Structures are given as C-alpha cells and as structure tokens.
Structure 1
C-alpha cells in the first residue's frame, strides 16, 4: 500500500467570533482527515490566553494513503471550539481537499512538499469571522506492508 506521512502544525487563529459573552474564550482545535470518524480526530491543547486570537503552534502527524491525494473527496477538516464547563461551544471550521494541499505544496517551491496557509474560518455555509493559519508538509511516498502497518498504527493513522 502506497502511503505518505503528513504533518500539520496549527499555528494560530485571529479575529475569531467571540462566542462567550461573560468569560474569556479558551479555544482548541480538532483536526480530522478523510471521514469524520473519531479514530482520526486529533486535538490541540486549549489556548487559555489569546481569546479571539489563539495560538497553539501544535504539530500533529498522520500517515495517509496515496489515494487520498488523487481526488477531491478526502478533506482536511479543522474545527474550532471554545472550552466551557457546560460543553464546548462551536466557533467555526475550515475544510480543504487533501489533493489541493498536496498540489499547492508540491508546486510551492524547492521541492519541499511543504507550505503555510491562512484560510477563512466558516460557520455553516457562510464565512464567519476570523482566519486559521497552519503549516503542513508531506513526506516521500513509501510502500507499507498491510501487516506491518497494522502493528504500528498507534501514533500515526489513516493509511
């Protein structure tokens, strides 16, 4: 099976909608690739100081199937939430196809397969307030034996 390592670093968000009227916003992000299955979701620590301008500089690593980069169906989804005692409150999200990320990084320069992007945060079907900044990079294509993959999926997933 052909796979690649994919590394994403959520750097920061700015000018987010303030969804807390009485207390400070404490924002974290949940990242998933492909479907929205709970097994693929990873989470940043909660930023307790930036409020509507949170900063994480937090890196997450995945191993993804090469087929995820061949069509527009596989999406990177980053959802932002404000932490609350009564349950987290949704702030907004970004969706972008993995294929577009790969092609942008591949054509970005110096053959690094890496890039930095800032995308508008959306809430529902319209742009909401704010933007999310992140960097990412793709590793080289490797062939992985399915049996070997089953043994080492604990910290890397999606292949």
Structure 2
C-alpha cells in the first residue's frame, strides 16, 4: 500500500476567546485525521501552553503516516481542536477543519510544505481567533519500506 509521512507543527494561535471566568487560560491542541479508512479517529495532543493565555504558542511537531488514498480524496479532514485545561475538565475553545487534499495540493506548488493560518471556529460561530501551523508531506513510499525505515531508524509515527 502506498503511503506518505505527514508532519504538522502547531506554531501558535492568536486572539482566542477567553473561556475562563477565573484564572489563566492554559491551551492545548488535539490533532486528528478523520474520514479516511486508515485514520480511525487517531488523535495526538500538544503540550499545554501555560503562559500565552489567549495567544498560546506551542511549536510542537506531530507525525502521521497516511495512506495515499487519504491524500487523494476530499473525505479525509485534518481536525485541530483547542481546549483550555481546567481542574474540573478541559473546556472547548474552538477548532479548524480542512481537507488533507487541499493542504497537499497547496503544498505541492512549494515543494511539499507550507505555513498557513486558519480561523478558529466554535460551532457555527464566526472566527474566534486564528491558528497558525506548518506542515510537510513526505514522498510516496510503499508501506513495507516505511516499516523498514521505522525499525532501522527507530522512528515513532504513532
């Protein structure tokens, strides 16, 4: 099966809605790929920014292995959800959704990587700030080569 490495670096968010009544906002992100058969709702989490409040910065990189079919159709979505950490449970701040194919097509013209900003939405409410991230697609490879590379280099794509 053909697949690619997909790397996303969450850089920062700006002008998020303050969802705390008391205390400081401490924001983290949960990143997932949805809609593709191989995605299976797998989610990764960034560290919590404890200082930026409504303007958090992470500079945190996450790596995924995605099938070529996930890159080629508009059903696979990159979903980044932002949460404010609280003792009584995390509070939802907002999210972005974008098709992986659109990211791939946009990055193809610039060598396979790009830096982008997306408006953070809360349900159907208009923008609640901006999320900035960079991403990069690797070359198309066969899954057997990927498994070999993981075992030799000790890479953790999960």
TM value normalised by structure 2: 0.89
Q: 1:44 maps to what in 2? A: 46
Could you say which residue in structure 2 is the equivalent of 1:73? 75
Correspondence list, 1:3-42, <5 A:
3-35=3-35, 37=40, 40-42=42-44
Partner of 1:92: 94
Unpaired runs of at least 5, structure 1: none
Q: Distance in 2 between matches of 1:51 and 1:37?
A: 32
Instruction: Tell me how far 1:70 sits from its aligned partner.
Output: 1.0
**In structure 2, what is the equivalent of residue 143 of structure 1?**
142
Deviation at 1:126, TM superposition (A): 2.6
Q: How far, CA to CA, are the matches of 1:117 and 1:140 in structure 2?
A: 21
Shift of 1:37: 4.7
Q: In the aligned structure 1, how far is the partner of 2:125 from the partner of 2:106?
A: 24
Q: Which runs of 5+ in 2 are unaligned?
A: none
CA RMSD of aligned residues (A): 2.0
Number of equivalences = 151
TM-score of the aligned structures, taking structure 1 as reference length: 0.88
CA contact (8 A) 1:10 1:56 kept: yes
